[in-house]
């Protein structure tokens, strides 16, 4: 690389410089969005190396999401200084812990080839445990146990440390099952995500010399998005930082949005107590957004209580007001956004032309994405989904990866179970039980159990012959993986051929088989970026973002959660409706905690925008196949009027509904909502009682619903729970179809068609694909 002048200090303001030049001791940079916290962190990394305080390998830089970690890397590359070596210890908590754990796996009884399980594997394992313990799986679903275990791991609680008050959860078996689960994971030479941190904290606590080694190695620790760390991450950081005490955390209490996942905003509020002698630097100048955008964001977040409070100002030009627009329904909203993006990329209404890369759509719940995807596919607008419907979660990809996993680690029983009869090998339940038994009786893995079974002639016929081919194949692939001169891409291809997996899809008559074969090709292509299969598997386990590699500019679609730390010249924030954003759950909750977290999410959303921020809502939304009418989000009422411009959609909108229908679109309502205090729902509802509006409502109910393209059977994640509403049709694995009747705290009352009324956690419900 050509030498360039070290200019990284030149473009910092004085507060940022102070943050960068205070190298020793604990430092907290506490500041609002867009004030250059991340920028300062990068300059700090440069400065540490420039001043010789630390070499690249002595710097540990952690952040929260994969996207943020990538962003960090690319920003560091752009930081003007002559970097001699790359900073290798830069990444997410999980990625860094995975690497550390590989170096120390034996200390917790693992081999360094351990597998990182995803949710699907976890659930399968928990289900087995629950069945083995004769627990009624209907009453005590694996997902519930998973939620509990996750929450314990987030707090770094090992089974023995689970508080008595919680140990009785899950039919009094919670902590006991957690214990079994942990043992089973070790037997399988596997970890889940929570383990990555939990094991490392354990190792640090129980092996002082190991801790000392890392304390010495990492002279300087830098943490971005500190407000979102959970207890386990916090403990891990504290242990590491106790050596040199050179820890620099940056964060913004107003952007704490992972409380639902165990993040503790208290960590940031307590920093000065935790690290005595800590210095706190505040940054106040925002360099990202125009004054209108900043003022709108501040107006919204002002409604939260219990904030640290910050001053924010900007020297940017006034620019566009935040744009607000109401639509008839979600499809219209997507159609409008698509057209708006097209005209913005051409340059419209005095805005500069923008590339698609400069625009992003940030949604509250991932199910909102689909409408946009469908629309953009129709009009041929290139887009990428970040953290969305994931490539690596598709069935054929998961199958193929199970084969890869077995090649790397033949003891991976979960992978073995997944593919033992895929393609069909005549190894049905009976045969599989025999394999399980042989494995259990001999205390070995399933592959070895299968070998013993074959040796003992315990399985004959077609099944036996096919099983022989499979176990021999696994042995051969495993040898090939260990060959230092081996070509892992050729191996992957051979493996998919020899196992009969590719042929299975070639012979399949399904209409989606060609697509699946394409995906398998994609998968092999993805291997090119890696040195070996193991590296690739680790990458996939850690990075589940689906970013297509195709060239060209694309609009980004992602959840608000995934957008943290990022910025875009133009941001679209659709679906600002009560019940969707803020989520129904946060509105039903007693107390303001949930609602305040939603409001912080709104603040995060608006502050991603540099030049143009467009908020929209729909009067009707089809959620999981059911129409429901909606009221504009209460957060819309909180936008300061002076900084908002209400757009009216063109009259020709709305297909069969005609101009009259759309003319009734939101603008008058919004104006009204800004003139009077409409914070309570009843008065806003009045606005909707006008005859015109009701006519539209009536139409919406008689409107034929378009058929979903494919049967969907998506598991509703925590973010999507919000989307359930009274009257929704839902599906539960055991209870079958039912209708949502009420909400209570985080529970949902469902009247099941066959099983009667039940109270459930939303995450056990699946949208009814009808």
Active site residues: 37-38, 224-225, 255, 608
Shortest distance in whole angstroms from residue 413 CB to ligand ATP: 42
- Measured CA to CA, the distance from residue 360 to residue 341 in angstroms comes to 10
- The reply on whether position 560 binds ligand ATP by CB under 6 A is no
Which helix (H) or strand (E) element contains residue 623? strand 609-623
What residues have CB less than 8 Å from 702, skipping those under 6 apart? none
By three-state DSSP, how is residue 416 classified?
helix
Q: With contacts defined by CB under 6 A, how many residues of the chain interact with ligand ATP?
A: 19
Nearer to Mg ion, 37 or 155 (CB): 37
Among residues 615, 709, 610, the alpha carbon closest in space to that of 336 is found at: 615
Nearer to ligand ATP, 577 or 596 (CB): 596
Shortest distance in whole angstroms from residue 31 CB to ligand ATP: 6
Radius of gyration for the alpha carbons in the chain, expressed in angstroms and rounded: 27
φ, ψ at 463 (rounded to 5°): -55, -50
Question: Cα–chain-centroid distance for residue 222?
Answer: 22
360 marked as part of a ligand binding site: no
- The reply on whether position 11 binds ligand ATP by CB under 6 A is yes
Selected range binding Mg ion among 313-321, 361-369, 448-456, 560-568, rule: CB under 5 A: 560-568
Beta strands in 624-754 (DSSP E): 626-629, 644-647, 729-732, 736-744, 747-752
Nearer to ligand ATP, 61 or 540 (CB): 61
- The reply on whether position 33 binds ligand ATP by CB under 6 A is yes
- With CB under 5 to 8 Å by kind, the binding choice for 596 among Mg ion, ligand ATP, none is none
| 232 touches 194 (CB < 8 A) | yes
Nearer to ligand ATP, 466 or 567 (CB): 567
- With CB under 5 to 8 Å by kind, the binding choice for 11 among ligand ATP, Mg ion, none is ligand ATP
Q: Which of residues 155-214 bind ligand ATP (CB under 6 A)?
A: none
- Long-range contacts of residues 242-245, Cβ cutoff 8 Å, at least 24 apart: 242/215, 243/212, 243/215, 243/216, 243/218, 244/215, 244/218, 244/219, 244/220, 245/25, 245/26, 245/275
In angstroms, the Cα distances linking 361 to 373, 520, 737 are 11, 29, 33
Instruction: Please report how the helices 369-379 and 330-346 are oriented relative to each other, as an axis angle in degrees rounded to 10.
Output: 50
Q: Which of residues 342-371 bind Mg ion (CB under 5 A)?
A: none
- Measured CA to CA, the distance from residue 394 to residue 619 in angstroms comes to 34
- With CB under 5 to 8 Å by kind, the binding choice for 34 among ligand ATP, Mg ion, none is ligand ATP
DSSP string, 64-121: SSHHHHHHHHHHHHHSSS---S---SEEEHHHHHHHHHHHHGGGGT--TTPEEP-HHH
For ligand ATP, which residue of 19, 26, 27, 39 counts as binding (CB under 6 A)? 39
Nearer to Mg ion, 287 or 688 (CB): 287
Site string for ligand ATP, 570-609 (x = CB under 6 A): -------------------------------------x--
| 313 touches 284 (CB < 8 A) | yes
φ, ψ at 195 (rounded to 5°): -60, -30
Nearer to ligand ATP, 565 or 575 (CB): 565
Nearer to ligand ATP, 44 or 634 (CB): 44
Cis-peptide into 321, omega within 30 deg: no
Nearest-CB residue for ligand ATP: 36
Selected range binding ligand ATP among 12-20, 196-204, 338-346, 459-467, rule: CB under 6 A: 12-20
DSSP string, 100-113: HHHHHGGGGT--TT
Q: What is the DSSP letter of 753?
A: T
- The reply on whether position 252 binds ligand ATP by CB under 6 A is yes
Give me the count of residues in the chain: 770
- The reply on whether position 38 binds Mg ion by CB under 5 A is yes
Burial 447-476 (b: 16+ CB within 10 A, else e): bbbbbebbeeebbeeebbebbeebbebbee
Site string for Mg ion, 1-30 (x = CB under 5 A): ------------------------------
Burial 748-764 (b: 16+ CB within 10 A, else e): bbbebeeeeebebbbbb
Shortest distance in whole angstroms from residue 13 CB to ligand ATP: 5
- With CB under 5 to 8 Å by kind, the binding choice for 288 among ligand ATP, Mg ion, none is ligand ATP
Selected range binding ligand ATP among 5-13, 304-312, 530-538, 737-745, rule: CB under 6 A: 5-13
- Measured CA to CA, the distance from residue 422 to residue 324 in angstroms comes to 51
Nearer to ligand ATP, 297 or 630 (CB): 297
- The reply on whether position 487 binds ligand ATP by CB under 6 A is no
- With CB under 5 to 8 Å by kind, the binding choice for 628 among ligand ATP, Mg ion, none is none
| 203 touches 195 (CB < 8 A) | no
Shortest distance in whole angstroms from residue 351 CB to Mg ion: 26
Selected range binding Mg ion among 89-97, 561-569, 698-706, 715-723, rule: CB under 5 A: 561-569
- The reply on whether position 569 binds ligand ATP by CB under 6 A is no
For ligand ATP, which residue of 44, 47, 143, 288 counts as binding (CB under 6 A)? 288
For ligand ATP, which residue of 20, 37, 95, 466 counts as binding (CB under 6 A)? 37
Shortest distance in whole angstroms from residue 17 CB to ligand ATP: 9
Shortest distance in whole angstroms from residue 19 CB to Mg ion: 13
Nearer to Mg ion, 38 or 700 (CB): 38
For ligand ATP, which residue of 387, 473, 565, 582 counts as binding (CB under 6 A)? 565
- With CB under 5 to 8 Å by kind, the binding choice for 371 among Mg ion, ligand ATP, none is none
Shortest distance in whole angstroms from residue 296 CB to ligand ATP: 15
Beta strands in 337-452 (DSSP E): 359-363, 383-385
- The reply on whether position 12 binds ligand ATP by CB under 6 A is yes
34 marked as part of a ligand binding site: yes
Tokens of 764: 């056990």
- With CB under 5 to 8 Å by kind, the binding choice for 636 among Mg ion, ligand ATP, none is none
31 marked as part of a ligand binding site: yes
Among residues 442, 345, 521, 439, the alpha carbon closest in space to that of 128 is found at: 439
- With CB under 5 to 8 Å by kind, the binding choice for 79 among ligand ATP, Mg ion, none is none
380 marked as part of a ligand binding site: no
36 marked as part of a ligand binding site: yes
- Measured CA to CA, the distance from residue 573 to residue 19 in angstroms comes to 33
98 marked as part of a ligand binding site: no
Selected range binding ligand ATP among 36-44, 381-389, 490-498, 538-546, rule: CB under 6 A: 36-44
Q: Calculate ∠ Cα 380-384-387, nearest 5°.
A: 145
Q: Which of residues 742-761 bind ligand ATP (CB under 6 A)?
A: none
Among residues 559, 695, 712, 557, the alpha carbon closest in space to that of 625 is found at: 712
Nearer to Mg ion, 38 or 556 (CB): 38
Selected range binding ligand ATP among 7-15, 342-350, 515-523, 549-557, rule: CB under 6 A: 7-15
Cα torsion for 150, 156, 162, 163, to the nearest 10°?
-110
- The reply on whether position 287 binds ligand ATP by CB under 6 A is yes
Residue 289 CB coordination number (10 Å): 27
Cis-peptide into 423, omega within 30 deg: yes
Nearer to Mg ion, 67 or 199 (CB): 67
What residues have CB less than 8 Å from 487, skipping those under 6 apart? none
Q: Which residues bind Mg ion (CB under 5 A)?
A: 37-38, 565
Which segments are annotated as binding site for ATP? 31-38
Residues in touch with ligand ATP (CB under 6 A): 11-13, 16, 31, 33-39, 252, 255, 287-288, 565, 567, 607
């Amino acid at each position: 690389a050509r030498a360039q002048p070290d200019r990284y200090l030149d473009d910092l303001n004085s507060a940022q410089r102070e943050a960068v030049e205070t190298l020793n001791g604990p430092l907290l940079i506490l500041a609002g969005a867009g004030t250059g916290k991340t920028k300062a962190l990068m300059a700090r990394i440069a400065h540490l190396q420039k001043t010789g305080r630390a070499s690249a390998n002595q710097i540990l830089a952690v952040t929260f999401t994969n996207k943020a970690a990538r962003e960090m890397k690319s920003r560091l590359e752009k930081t003007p200084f002559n970097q001699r070596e790359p900073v290798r210890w830069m990444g997410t908590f999980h990625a860094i812990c995975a690497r550390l754990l590989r170096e120390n796996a034996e200390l917790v009884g693992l081999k360094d080839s351990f597998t990182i399980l995803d949710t699907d594997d976890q659930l399968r394992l928990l289900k087995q445990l629950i069945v083995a313990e004769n627990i009624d799986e209907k009453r005590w679903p694996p997902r519930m146990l998973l939620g509990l275990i996750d929450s314990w791991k987030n707090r770094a609680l090992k089974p023995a440390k689970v508080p008595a008050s919680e140990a009785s959860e899950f039919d009094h078996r919670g902590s006991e099952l957690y214990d079994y689960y942990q043992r089973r994971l070790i037997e399988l030479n596997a970890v889940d995500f929570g383990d990555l941190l939990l094991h490392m904290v354990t190792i640090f606590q129980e092996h002082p010399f190991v801790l000392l080694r890392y304390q010495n190695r990492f002279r300087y620790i830098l943490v971005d998005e500190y407000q979102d760390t959970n207890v386990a991450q916090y403990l891990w950081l504290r242990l590491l930082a106790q050596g040199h005490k050179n820890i620099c955390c940056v964060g913004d209490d107003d952007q704490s949005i992972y409380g639902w996942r165990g993040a503790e905003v208290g960590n940031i509020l307590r920093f000065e107590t935790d690290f005595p002698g800590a210095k706190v630097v505040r940054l106040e100048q925002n360099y990202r957004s125009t004054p209108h955008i900043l003022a709108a964001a501040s107006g919204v977040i002002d409604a939260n209580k219990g904030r640290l409070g910050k001053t924010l100002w900007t020297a940017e030009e006034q620019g566009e007001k935040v744009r607000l627009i109401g639509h008839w329904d979600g499809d219209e909203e997507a159609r409008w956004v698509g057209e708006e993006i097209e005209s913005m990329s051409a340059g419209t209404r005095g805005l500069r032309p923008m590339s698609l890369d400069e625009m992003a759509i940030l949604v509250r719940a991932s199910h909102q994405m689909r409408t946009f995807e469908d629309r953009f596919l129709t009009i041929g607008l290139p887009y990428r989904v970040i953290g969305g419907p994931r490539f690596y979660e598709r069935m054929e990809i998961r199958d193929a990866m199970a084969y890869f996993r077995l090649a790397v680690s033949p003891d991976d029983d979960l992978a073995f179970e997944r593919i033992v009869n895929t393609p069909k090998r005549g190894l049905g339940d009976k045969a599989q039980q025999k394999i399980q038994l042989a494995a259990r009786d001999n205390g070995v893995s399933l592959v070895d159990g299968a070998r013993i079974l074959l040796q003992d002639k315990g399985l004959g016929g077609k099944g036996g012959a096919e099983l022989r081919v499979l176990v021999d194949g696994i042995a051969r692939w495993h040898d090939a993986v260990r060959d230092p001169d081996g070509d892992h891409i050729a191996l992957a291809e051979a493996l998919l051929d020899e196992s009969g997996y590719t042929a299975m899809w070639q012979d399949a008559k399904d209409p989606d088989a060609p697509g699946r074969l394409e995906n398998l090709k994609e998968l092999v292509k993805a291997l090119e970026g890696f040195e070996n299969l193991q590296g690739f598997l680790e990458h996939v386990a850690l990075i589940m973002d689906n970013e297509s590699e195709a060239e060209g500019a694309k609009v980004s679609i992602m959840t608000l959660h995934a957008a943290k730390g990022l910025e875009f010249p133009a941001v679209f924030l659709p679906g600002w409706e009560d019940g969707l954003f803020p989520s129904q759950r946060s509105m039903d909750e007693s107390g303001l905690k949930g609602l305040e977290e939603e409001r912080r999410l709104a603040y995060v959303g608006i502050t991603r925008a540099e030049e143009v921020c467009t908020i929209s809502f729909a009067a009707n939304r089809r959620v999981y196949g059911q129409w429901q009418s909606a009221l504009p989000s209460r957060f819309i009422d909180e936008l300061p009027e002076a900084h908002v411009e209400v757009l009216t959609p063109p009259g020709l909108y709305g297909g069969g509904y005609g101009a009259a229908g759309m003319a009734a679109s939101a603008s008058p309502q919004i104006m009204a909502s800004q003139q009077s205090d409409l914070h309570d729902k009843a008065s806003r509802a009045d606005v909707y009682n006008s005859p015109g509006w009701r006519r539209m409502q009536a139409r919406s109910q008689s409107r034929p619903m378009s058929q979903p393209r494919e049967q969907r059977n998506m598991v509703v994640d925590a973010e999507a729970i919000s989307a359930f509403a009274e009257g929704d049709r839902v599906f539960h694995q055991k209870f079958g179809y039912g209708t949502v009747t009420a909400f209570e705290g985080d529970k949902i009352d469902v009247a099941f068609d066959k099983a009667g009324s039940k109270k459930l956690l939303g995450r056990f419900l699946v949208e009814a694909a009808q």
